[in-house]
Amino acid sequence: MTTPRQTASLNAPEPKNAPEPRYAELVAQIAQELGGHRGEIVILSHVDPDGDALGSCLGLQRALKLVGGQAQTYMNVPQYLEFLPAEGEVLPELKAWPEDALLVVLDVDNNDVRRVAGADLSSFGGRVINIDHHGTNARRADLGLVDPTQAATAGMVADIAQLLLDAASKDWTPEIATPLLTGLNTDTGSFRFANTSPAVLRQAASLVERGAQLAWINDRLSQNPPRYFALLREVLGSMAFSHGGKVVTARVDEAMLGRAGAVWDDVESYVNTIRSARGTELACLFKDYGTHVKLSLRSRGRVSAQNIAVGLGGGGHFPAAGATVQGDYAAVSKAFEEAAQTELERVGLGG
């Protein structure tokens, strides 16, 4: 499959969406190395962390601690996910690399230094394990498990946690299973997106059997503060349809955040609100920072959000992807509309 390219400035790799053929072998290798490591295991994920980023990190950290390891996640937890970690369990930023540290990077390509958050990777010289499900991953870790057929990184971490617990003759706890189920839940849009495969439902069922609290996760994820509704009014006010109603967009800028008393962390969920507009194939939420614009893309299963994001220098998955594009809103929205048109034409929806 070729990927349409919209700009000349791309150096993102071609997405590879085939399953990882050595999956079981790599899971076993990673579990063995993590379980045998003496010294601290530093766990990191991506900027703008989501439920899969935090859930994967927290599930792994808790499993490693249960089997006697030292593990610490560094992440700025967004407010809507603050219910998941205990106080002080996740630290915002690693100041200095511990001696003999092993680094685990979850849900993001460890080579993408602009996307990995929580520590300065350029000052780290130790071994790196990478576990990810993005097809755009360049696969250059010391030990990597990259399987784009997985709906979430958390499902892979669950397989690794199983082997860690087995080797130490320890049982699953709700505290380990719940964050991992949160990752499956959020990356599938609460088991509603096209990536909700039989495999991910089996992974979810298995985590519920191991004590994961699905109803609690959904209750906590669905709670919104009053500023959410104030910003929702702004987002709905900016909603626009294009390409004969097949594309829906909305835009948020600093002034709108100011009026609603909201922050950028609050914005991410609105793309899922606008994507439910009937007749649309593609939704895009523009986060307009003035000098650059962040795009959050969601597709309905016919057009590829990933193709459009990669064409704009970003990445992601077929149903959900994103890009950060330098330039003002007018220029970036024009580039997006062109990329969307190319993708609609590619799948025969261009007319």
Amino acid at 261: G
Give the interface segment with Mn ion, choosing from 6-14, 30-38, 41-49, 52-60 (CB under 5 A): 52-60
Contact call for residue 107 and Mn ion (CB under 5 A):
yes
Which residue number, 112 or 187, has a Cβ lying nearer to Mn ion?
A: 187
Integer Cα distance of 142 and 254 in angstroms = 41
Contact call for residue 132 and Mn ion (CB under 5 A):
no
Give the list of residues 6+ apart from residue 192 with CB closer than 8 angstroms, or none.
none
Which residue number, 35 or 319, has a Cβ lying nearer to Mn ion?
A: 319
Nearest distance, CB of residue 287 and Mn ion, angstroms: 19
Among 40, 187, 234, 281, binds Mn ion (CB under 5 A): 187
Contact call for residue 48 and Mn ion (CB under 5 A):
no
Q: Which residue is nearest to Mn ion (CB)?
A: 52
Where would I find the H helices in 188-252? 198-209, 214-221, 226-237
Virtual CA dihedral for 335, 114, 64, 19, nearest 10 degrees?
Answer: 40
Among 40, 48, 52, 266, binds Mn ion (CB under 5 A): 52
Nearest of 131, 156, 160 to residue 31 by alpha carbon: 160
Does residue 152 contact residue 52 with C-beta atoms inside 8 Å? yes
Contact call for residue 147 and Mn ion (CB under 5 A):
no
**Binding residues for Mn ion, how many (CB under 5 A)?**
5
Nearest distance, CB of residue 199 and Mn ion, angstroms: 15
Nearest of 85, 120, 84 to residue 101 by alpha carbon: 120
Which residue number, 107 or 109, has a Cβ lying nearer to Mn ion?
A: 107
**Which stretches of the chain bind Mn ion, using CB under 5 A?**
52, 107, 152-153, 187
